Amino acid sequence: MNKLSLYSLSLSFISLMLFWVVMSGFFDAVHLTMGVLSVAGVMAINYKLKTHRFFEDDMDDLKELRYFRAVYYFFWMIYQIIVAGFHVVKVIANPALPTKLSVVTFKVDLPSAHAKMILGNSITLTPGTLTVDIDGDNFLVHALDESSYSGIISDEMPREVLKLFETEERQVISDIEITTKN
């Protein structure tokens, strides 16, 4: 069982409390007290989950994450979601546009299970793609068309995820296999 660091607990409390304040929109003592109690309750309930190691390469806490890069990634990801959203709207609005439903399988070289989780969730958040399965280093992604998965096979999105954890520039994906439905 992992021991949680004060840093990890503090970061979790602050981020959950910020989320509470943003979602409630109230800054009076009653609402802030309810927020503190709610956040403390959530953290107490999830304590056993946070101390359990599900994967060998689980991070003990968030010290490995490059926070300034995470801020950039957040806005980069929003941009990717918007661009992909407009592409999907264009495909839906114009039935004459060809869709080539595809299944893309590839292998990743990322530093941890958290990095793989971020990549899988980023792919799913981007309209037109869905991460179907992650098995170790192997990903299975369903895509609407070639444009939908181009950012993955060009290694753009996986490299952005790598930059959240490392400064090293390197190829992240390999063994790409694309199966297209005719």
The per-residue pLDDT for 54 is 59
58: pLDDT strictly greater than 70: no
The per-residue pLDDT for 52 is 61
The string of pLDDT tens digits covering residues 86-145 is 998 998 888 887 778 889 999 998 888 888 888 999 999 889 899 999 888 899 999 888
76 pLDDT band, cuts 50/70/90, is: very high
The per-residue pLDDT for 1 is 44
Mean pLDDT for the chain?
Answer: 83
Residue of 21 and 55 predicted with greater confidence: 21
pTM of the model: 0.71
Dihedral, CA of residue 61, residue 66, residue 72 and residue 73, to nearest 10: -50
Contacts of 66 (CB under 8 A, 6+ apart): 163, 164, 165, 167
End-to-end Cα, the chain, rounded Å: 49
